[in-house]
């Protein structure tokens, strides 16, 4: 059986850990590989390699580091199909969606190619008599990222693209559920010209996560995952003196006003709710139609769309989405469906029990639809992370705005309307970090930043864009004076501009 190893100091490494995890093919339910689980010693070996490489890498000027990013981008693009097929075989998302996963990561690499401009500091000439003040942005040193299963290409590139471009070295702990693509990306980074040790990959579970959070040479940690673990990572990392950004879960809402273009809105909602089997932190699992007439129309159109929706294996080009990632996750989603029914929501379409001929053991969940979901229900409060869409009816726009604003999560929200004033007011008032106006999945472009509010994010810095640059660098401010032979008495009070 294929063994997936760590990538340390520019080469494959089995490591000293004695534990392994199963990597499934979600389409068939079969174990296709085993991934080595690292321990504290493996993590330390990666950190030592990264610390040595970082000194050399930080001394490379930003323009030359950018050239490595350009070459990495070229190599990844040339292997797009290989990476997408590898990703789909372990995650379960359809190949077209996997290409999008890789491409959205590459967009941050494109941003990182412009790092010489982003690293320019500030300069003030003549801040005082003969005094100039300027600032420098310098790398932190060794930094780390802990990434989830749902975007095994995009989220690692969101993190290490900016971190490496500014002069850090990077330790990546990817999900053990689909670890092959992160290792391949590290190999391509070396092929692009980065020194060995600049990008290391260490696989594992909580043991490696804790080793990352406790290691004294790791200066910053970026995390994406569930909110409970995000809070743990943030708290424990901060306890050990690290800079931490930790992105958590979500329960994104789509508000549909009576004047919306329902045909386009429902098609957008379908893709956002069921795409990638709902395994996205920016999925749209809650639709909030305003008014009974709108709600009935949305329900009717969603039902019509579900009838034409095709669930298939990852390699089927006609499939809209594939299986979920593991049998355990399938059970989790199906348990939530039962809970929603038990709570009193109307189960309009039940996706449980879906099987495909020839793939009876695959981890498939059909599209599921609930109506008349209430805010007090557990299935509304919690993130299901599967192909389950819930309709929560609202009588007014004010009532609709309160739902995402008062929810524990605050990642993303969308509004569908033709009314510019209503959309503008909604965007200004809603208590959520990312807003879409007639855009169902409002993930910002790479040169802006990604981040939610409330229990969707812990820490003060967002992902990628200039927030990524700020997170992975420290500012040094220099005040310089070049006296012209003049002498002054010693000053015993704090300098002022008087």
Catalytic residues: 281
DSSP, residue by residue, 203-233: --SHHHHHHHHH-TTEEEEEEES-HHHHHHH
3-state secondary structure (DSSP) of residue 368: strand
CA distances to 222, 246, 445, 469, 494 from 463, in Å: 8, 9, 11, 9, 38
CA–CA gap between residue 317 and residue 310 (Å, rounded): 10
CA–CA gap between residue 212 and residue 372 (Å, rounded): 44
Pairing of strands 368-371, 409-410: unpaired
Nearest to 84 by CA among 202, 192, 189, 184: 184
Q: Residue 35 in contact with residue 42, Cβ under 8 Å?
A: no
**Distant-in-sequence, close-in-space partners of 195: CB < 8 Å, separation ≥ 6:** 10, 53, 56, 57
Q: Residue 356 in contact with residue 313, Cβ under 8 Å?
A: yes
3-state secondary structure (DSSP) of residue 342: helix
And the tokens for 295? 């709600």
Strand partners, 227: none
Residues comprising the chain, all counted? 498
CA–CA gap between residue 355 and residue 364 (Å, rounded): 7
Any long-range contacts for 449-454 (C-beta under 8 Å, 24+ apart)?
450/158, 450/247, 451/245, 451/247, 452/247, 452/248, 452/250, 452/409, 452/410, 452/411, 452/412, 453/410, 453/411, 454/407, 454/408, 454/409, 454/410
And the tokens for 434? 């990312």
């Amino acid at each position: 059986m294929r063994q997936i190893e760590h990538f340390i100091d520019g080469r494959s490494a089995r490591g000293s850990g004695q534990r392994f995890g199963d990597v499934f093919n979600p389409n068939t339910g079969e174990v296709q590989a085993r991934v080595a689980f690292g321990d504290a010693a493996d993590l330390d070996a990666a950190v030592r390699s990264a610390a040595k490489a970082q000194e050399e890498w930080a001394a490379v000027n930003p323009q030359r580091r950018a050239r490595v990013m350009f070459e990495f981008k070229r190599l990844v693009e040339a292997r797009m199909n290989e990476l997408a097929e590898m990703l789909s075989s372990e995650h379960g998302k359809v190949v077209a969606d996997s290409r999008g996963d890789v491409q959205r990561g590459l967009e941050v690499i494109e941003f990182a190619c412009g790092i010489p401009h982003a690293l320019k500091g500030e300069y003030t000439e003549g801040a005082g008599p003969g005094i100039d003040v300027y600032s420098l942005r310098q790398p932190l040193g060794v930094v780390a990222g802990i990434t989830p299963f749902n975007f095994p290409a995009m989220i690692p590139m969101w993190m290490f693209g900016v971190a490496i471009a500014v002069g850090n070295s990077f330790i990546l702990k990817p999900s053990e559920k689909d670890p092959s693509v992160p290792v391949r990306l590290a190999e391509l980074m070396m092929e692009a010209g980065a020194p060995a040790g600049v990008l290391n990959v260490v696989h594992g579970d909580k043991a490696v996560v804790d080793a990352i959070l406790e290691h004294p040479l790791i200066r910053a940690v970026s995390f994406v995952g569930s909110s409970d673990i995000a809070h743990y990572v943030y708290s424990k990392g901060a306890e050990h003196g690290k800079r931490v950004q930790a992105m958590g879960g979500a329960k994104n809402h789509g508000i549909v006003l009576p004047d919306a273009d329902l045909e386009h809105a429902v098609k957008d909602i379908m893709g956002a709710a069921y795409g990638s089997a709902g395994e996205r932190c920016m999925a749209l699992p809650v639709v909030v139609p305003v008014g009974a007439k709108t709600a009935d129309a949305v329900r009717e159109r969603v039902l019509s769309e579900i009838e034409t929706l095709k669930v298939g294996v990852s390699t089927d080009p006609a499939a809209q989405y594939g299986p979920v990632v593991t049998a355990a996750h399938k059970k989790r989603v199906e348990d939530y469906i039962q809970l929603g029914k038990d709570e009193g929501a109307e189960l309009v379409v039940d996706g449980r029990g879906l099987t495909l001929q020839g793939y009876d053991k695959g981890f498939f969940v059909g599209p599921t639809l609930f109506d008349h979901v209430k805010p007090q229900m557990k299935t509304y409060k919690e993130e299901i992370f599967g192909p389950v869409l819930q309709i929560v009816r609202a009588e007014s726009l004010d009532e609709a705005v309160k739902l995402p604003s008062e929810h524990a999560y605050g990642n993303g929200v969308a509004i569908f309307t033709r009314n510019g004033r209503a959309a503008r007011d909604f965007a200004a008032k809603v208590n959520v970090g990312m807003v879409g106006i007639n855009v169902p999945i409002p993930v910002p472009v790479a040169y802006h930043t990604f981040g939610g509010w409330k229990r969707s994010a812990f820490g003060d810095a967002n992902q990628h864009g200039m927030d990524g640059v700020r997170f992975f660098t420290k500012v040094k401010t220099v005040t310089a004076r070049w006296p012209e032979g003049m002498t002054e008495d010693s000053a015993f009070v704090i300098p002022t501009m008087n």
